[in-house]
Structure 1
Amino acid sequence: MQKIISSKTIYKTIIVSLLAGLIIFYLFKTLIDIRDFAEVLKRVDILLLFSTIIVSFSVPVLSAFRWQFVLRLVGHDTSFKQSFSIVMSVWPLSILPGRVGDFARSYPLRNQIEPMGTAGAVLFEKVIDVASLLLLSAVGFLFLGHYGYAVILFLLSTMTIPMLFLTRSVSRFLPQSLSLKLRPIFTHLEFKNLKSKYFLFSLISSLTNWWVSVLMIWFLYDAFGASLPMTTTAAYFPLAIFIGLIPISIAGLGTRDSALIAFFIDKATPAQSLASGIGYFLIGYILFAIIGIPFFIKNFFSTQHTDSQKAN
């Protein structure tokens, strides 16, 4: 795991994220009336909140299927059980900015796949996610009648994956020492993989996964008293997710919320957007990070103990 994410990097990113989060919430304090926020929390619809939690449990399942399909896409056969265990084990690391904790997935697979090879699979998965989010947003804008935005986002979506393969080609012209280091990442990234059924399965599972996220935020806004049109939610929430990936906060907390406030200012009060954003963070990240702790211990600490015994 140290080859992918060093402990020094983890400590730095957590400290920077905490400081950035404090600054962002200080700004929120100047923009949002605390009494309004408290009132929004008191009036929450518990049934809708519970419905959001129920819907959210499909996210780790879909994430596990996506990871399994991506690994098979790049030539590594993994069972759903192992894929699910790995996905859950890195959820506690989701607090790292930009979801870089996902690259720690290489550790449980270190005896089967070269770490940098797993990093290539993670990179491929992230590119598929970007394409899926752009496509969902494009469909949302299409139904809103904003055809210009829809076309731009659709073109960006279709260009995203080919750009990854272009990067693979460009990497050959880098200095030899750097090119050799990057080679394992790009080994299995070939155009022929796009014809594989596993690419289609990966894309479908990614689209479904992010659609569930759209449903979650839609339910949350409704729970906190703001009724958003589904098309508006589908158009703007993927963009808010992108903003949340800017590596200056913990799991997008603060950056994603500020985007929600700006995007839905005509549909919801800032207090409702903040409550919905925090709810999404608590359910989508903290809840599954807690559930993932036993998987984290099993895959990262138990395996270390086993390896040390074998070495002795």
Structure 2
Amino acid sequence: MKKTFSYAIKGIGIVLFIWILTKIDIGELKRSLTSVSLVHLLLTLILFPVIYLIKSLRWHILSSSAGAKTTLDQSIRIYMIGMFLGIATPGKLGEAMKIPALISRGLTLKSATGITILDRLMDIAILGLLGIWAIGSLISVKLAGLVLVSVILLGLIAFVLRKLTLKLLPQIDTNSWARAIALTIINWAVYFLQLWILATGFGLSINPQIFVAIMTLVGIISILPIAPAGLGTRDAALLLFFGSLGISAEKTIAFSFTIFALTIIASSIGAYFWIKYPIKKINAQEPLQN
């Protein structure tokens, strides 16, 4: 029942995408899709493995610092499988898969869960900070101020309850924290560069600062678990922002759908590892082998 509900929730984005297609010129959409520069398309695709490697390295640093006995190769495989399952399945199965993988490598359930949550929170934290700036740039400085005040209040609450907060988080040394934060920043820099390259390939002429602000808010909206890989939700958000810049709906959807398609293609790396190393091999009895 719960699984059916999860699939139904993710179907919202698909329905939204289909509805959008009924409102635009399909012929013009096809022309926009075929107008993209193949060089830019290839460069965009090449940057996916770079992003995945950065994220895998961060996860390896965090899990190793917490005491997990794992090699970088194993961490890359586990992370890639989790990434693939996160795209291919409803809910957060991909994230949940990492927990038994860490337990089989020496971590307690609490530490394994904490690492998995922390890894995700680091991305959300950077995206959230950028989101406040993006709101101020695109929507309202006052609204951005209200969001910032809310974040500060939450931070103060977390500080007051720091003993409880620290108990929920695994022990990570200062050097590992610094490296993980640096990798998170690099990851987002590569991500925005990747999107900028693709946008340039479609001939989109947008101020870089405005573009990053738009893609930040679109990224936040795409996190909502109501669509596979942001399908539908990303399209709707981009139509709103790009439309205000005079960019046609067809070119906007072509750009957005290409992001979705390339994400699915790139996730085949994770699919390969998932097929070669089934989930049963991540437990203590059958650890991943080189």
- Length-normalised TM-score, structure 2: 0.81
Superposition CA RMSD, Å = 3.4
Residue 96 of structure 2 is aligned to residue 117 of structure 1: no
The count of corresponding residues between Structure 1 and Structure 2 is 284
Deviations 1:256-292 (A, max 9, x none): 22111112223322222212222112223x1232111
- Greater shift in the superposed pair: 62-71 or 141-150: 141-150
Preserved contact between residue 218 and residue 237 of structure 2 (Cα < 8 Å):
yes
**Distance apart, 1:61 and its partner CA:** 0.6
1:34 is matched with 26
1:278 is matched with 257
**Does the C-alpha gap of structure 1 residues 26 and 302 become closer, same or farther in structure 2, counting only changes over 3 Å?**
closer
1:264 is matched with 242
Residue 97 of structure 2 is aligned to residue 104 of structure 1: yes
**Does the C-alpha gap of structure 1 residues 33 and 228 become closer, same or farther in structure 2, counting only changes over 3 Å?**
same
For the residue of structure 1 that corresponds to 2:74, the secondary structure is helix
Q: Where in structure 2 are there 5+ consecutive unaligned residues? A: none
Match runs of 1:189-200 below 5 Å: 189=169, 196-200=174-178
Q: Distance in 1 between matches of 2:177 and 2:155?
A: 11
Amino acid at match of 2:252: S
**Distance apart, 1:129 and its partner CA:** 0.9
**Distance apart, 1:116 and its partner CA:** 4.4
- Greater shift in the superposed pair: 141-150 or 291-300: 141-150
**Distance apart, 1:152 and its partner CA:** 5.8
**Distance apart, 1:9 and its partner CA:** 4.7
Deviations 1:198-235 (A, max 9, x none): 22221221122122222222222222221222211211
Q: Distance in 1 between matches of 2:283 and 2:132?
A: 48
1:182 is matched with none
Preserved contact between residue 108 and residue 300 of structure 1 (Cα < 8 Å):
no
Amino acid at match of 2:54: L
Amino acid at match of 2:52: P
Q: Distance in 1 between matches of 2:160 and 2:93?
A: 22
**Does the C-alpha gap of structure 1 residues 264 and 152 become closer, same or farther in structure 2, counting only changes over 3 Å?**
farther
**Distance apart, 1:140 and its partner CA:** 5.8
2:123 is matched with 129
Q: Distance in 2 between matches of 1:161 and 1:299?
A: 40
Residue 183 of structure 2 is aligned to residue 205 of structure 1: yes
**Does the C-alpha gap of structure 1 residues 306 and 103 become closer, same or farther in structure 2, counting only changes over 3 Å?**
closer
Q: Distance in 2 between matches of 1:288 and 1:27?
A: 26
**Distance apart, 1:21 and its partner CA:** 3.2
Deviations 1:157-198 (A, max 9, x none): 777777667777678xxxxxxxxxxxxxx74527x85x7122
Q: Where in structure 1 are there 5+ consecutive unaligned residues? A: 1-7, 172-185
- Length-normalised TM-score, structure 1: 0.76
Q: Distance in 2 between matches of 1:165 and 1:71?
A: 24
Q: Distance in 1 between matches of 2:49 and 2:241?
A: 27
Preserved contact between residue 134 and residue 217 of structure 2 (Cα < 8 Å):
no
1:46 is matched with 38
For the residue of structure 1 that corresponds to 2:41, the secondary structure is helix
Q: Distance in 2 between matches of 1:305 and 1:200?
A: 30
Q: Distance in 1 between matches of 2:277 and 2:100?
A: 8
Preserved contact between residue 24 and residue 255 of structure 1 (Cα < 8 Å):
yes
Q: Distance in 2 between matches of 1:77 and 1:233?
A: 41
Residue 237 of structure 2 is aligned to residue 245 of structure 1: no
Match runs of 1:137-148 below 5 Å: 137-138=131-132
**Does the C-alpha gap of structure 1 residues 141 and 15 become closer, same or farther in structure 2, counting only changes over 3 Å?**
closer
**Does the C-alpha gap of structure 1 residues 279 and 291 become closer, same or farther in structure 2, counting only changes over 3 Å?**
same
Q: Distance in 1 between matches of 2:280 and 2:139?
A: 54
